[in-house]
Structure 1
Amino acid sequence: MEEDDQTTRTFPPWVQLEYNHMRALAGPSSSVHFTHVSRSAASSLGDLLSSSDPSLAQAEVHTEGVLDLMKAKGVPLEKVCLLDPKAPEALSPEDSETFDWFLFGGILGDDPPRDRTSELRALGFPGRHLGSVQMTTDTALGVTKRVILDKEPLDKLPYVDFPTIRFNAKESVEMPFRYIVQDGQPLMPPGMRELLYEDLDKAFDF
């Protein structure tokens, strides 16, 4: 989990946007579990994800780690697929017959990647990768959903790598990740462009 603010016990705005986007991308037939959340931050994250919108995946917030959650729900290790950039095999539609749960470990979206997934890899989870280019957490979940539930091959999905987000003729920012393309644009959480522009202004505010 990303670190929450030690004073307010809340998460940065971009984290909030990505987490809600994960629910939208997963869709109503799925559930999304956020594990290993500090007790002081669990309440604020639970409030953030409390929307009962029927178009969103159900969300649950847990203070315990993933192994404790698996034990409580009776989920065997071999039914959990760790999305791991270093896994030898790519995720495929056929994996829907092997796995019931998909685990996004560490913090996807680090730039540069710090391989924090290694902590979960060491626990013995079977793994699959999503390609060679780093994705944000919500993109990784969206790609997994399309491969597993929609049966779209990983290499047939429309991608854009390191897109430049332009705000006007003079201001732009390059994103160091891979995104799904939708309607000709990188698929980002609603509100992310506005947040990026605000951060851009802050960076040059003397």
Structure 2
Amino acid sequence: MLKEIFKSKRITDLLLISFMVFFVLVAFVLFSPSENSNYRPYRPELYIDDSGNPECPEEFGCCTGEFYKQKKCYAYQACINFKCQIRECTAECCVLDRFERKECPAGLVCDRYECKKPECPYSCCENESEYRDKSCKNNLECTNSNECHVRECKNQCCEGIEGYREVLCPAPQECNNGICEKPECTARCCMANDPDYKEKSCPPHENCVGRVCVIKFF
């Protein structure tokens, strides 16, 4: 037939055949499935219900439910390109197996998906650049050597104050809010110059004599 076309020099028929072949090739390229596409031929045996959702093929590790019936991965995995893969770490850091590993910058450690300073390895740490703050117990003082010590008493006296070195008042004085004072007078009265007790006056019509109130005689 081609010989007859060429012999008869029917250029119009030759061009028409060429265009038809060209369009067939273009249609084949555009509508044929590629090797990497998710297209699968229709298989009636895969349809299990009236919703039109086929089962996830066995060669797929998972399906999101968009093209096939949903097939989930383990809790710590995500379905990516029909494969179960470890989830991407979206926090500051991830060191657990269930997420893609993501380290913290140098000098920091991963604590519950956050980059923080490491725990203080000493008895105490205050305003440290390398470690987290750690206070002393019982109100003790943190020294420059990161050790807990009793605080020095900066008042006249310290009695029963947690965390401070005990400093007692000379007898018979008592410690009152860090100040050494005479105790209250336990007798009927005490003169202002009494060396042991605070002043305690008698009633107006009596005088204090030897810590005893005596009636005034006029």
- Flag whether TM exceeds 0.5 (same fold): no
- The bucket for the TM-score relative to the shorter chain is under 0.3
Q: Pick the structure with more helix per residue.
A: 1
* TM-score, length of structure 2 as denominator length: 0.19
